[in-house]
Amino acid sequence: GAVVSQHPSWVICKSGTSVKIECRSLDFQATTMFWYRQFPKQSLMLMATSNEGSKATYEQGVEKDKFLINHASLTLSTLTVTSAHPEDSSFYICSATSTVQNTEAFFGQGTRLTVV
Amino acid sequence: QKEVEQDPGPLSVPEGAIVSLNCTYSNSAFQYFMWYRQYSRKGPELLMYTYSSGNKEDGRFTAQVDKSSKYISLFIRDSQPSDSATYLCAIFGFNKFYFGSGTKLNVKP
């Protein structure tokens, strides 16, 4: 299957700082990238959907000014958690669909964010 | 009503058993169905992808879609300890992916 690379796989940061997470499609062009948050023993919670070159669409309850998403190219999307707080600690996962077939989603490895 | 419902388990079986994982969904218009496997602290990995009704087989894994009852299943034959993971069903529709809550499977050696 197609490969999506997410970096970093884990990060620890201090309260008040910002953290950037990268999501890259390595062997395909991604029309759409999705950002999820996953709490322990729970399913994926969609945060936002981003299409290359346009503004991300955020789900209800997700603060767009706190979770900045940039999808500057067909192979890269970034999520920046701004002014992070301990309650932002979570597992963040991106997924991508290709320009060829947008009904299959491929996931990155996930990023475990811990805010201290 | 949620778009897709999945029994969270956990499900514990002995090695070699046949495992049946199931989801139900709400909208008969859905046509694209997927099963993902997620190991602890990792991103989900696409296992099976099915369009419309019927069965699809890949090695020890069989995905089944019954559109008349809006029911999707994943069968694992000859289950192995390495199959121990959380399995998520997913549906694509209306430009969105809808995920089940995941079933945690433990295959005991």
Whole-number CA gyration radius for chain B = 13
Of A41, A43, A108, the CB nearest to B43: A108
pLDDT for the residue A1:
64
Tokens for A50? 């981003």
Interface test mutation site (partner A, options B46, B87, B94, B105, max chain A beta carbons within 10 A): B46
CA distance A15 to chain B (A): 23
The yes-or-no verdict on residue A91 having pLDDT over 90 is yes
Secondary element (H or E) of residue B36: strand B32-38
Secondary element (H or E) of residue A2: none
Per-residue pLDDT tens digits for A1-25: 689 999 999 999 999 999 999 999 9
Cis peptide before B109 (omega within 30 of 0): no
Of B34, B49, B99, the CB nearest to A44: B99
Cis peptide before B44 (omega within 30 of 0): no
The yes-or-no verdict on residue A43 having pLDDT over 90 is no
Share of chain B above pLDDT 90, in %: 83
Beta carbons of A43 and B88 less than 8 Å apart: yes
Tell me the chain B residues in contact with residue A6 when contact means C-beta distances shorter than 8 Å: 43
The yes-or-no verdict on residue A63 having pLDDT over 70 is yes
CA distance B103 to chain A (A): 10
Most confident of A46-55, A96-105, B20-29: B20-29
The yes-or-no verdict on residue B1 having pLDDT over 80 is no
Per-residue pLDDT tens digits for B40-85: 989 999 999 998 888 999 999 999 999 999 999 999 999 999 999 9
pLDDT for the residue A8:
97
Residues B73 and B19 sit within 8 Å (Cβ to Cβ): no
Of B34, B44, B88, the CB nearest to A104: B34
Mean pLDDT for chain A overall? 93
Beta carbons of A49 and B44 less than 8 Å apart: no
Beta carbons of B44 and A104 less than 8 Å apart: no
Q: Residue range A107-116: average pLDDT?
A: 96
CA distance B109 to chain A (A): 23
Of A46, A91, A104, the CB nearest to B49: A104
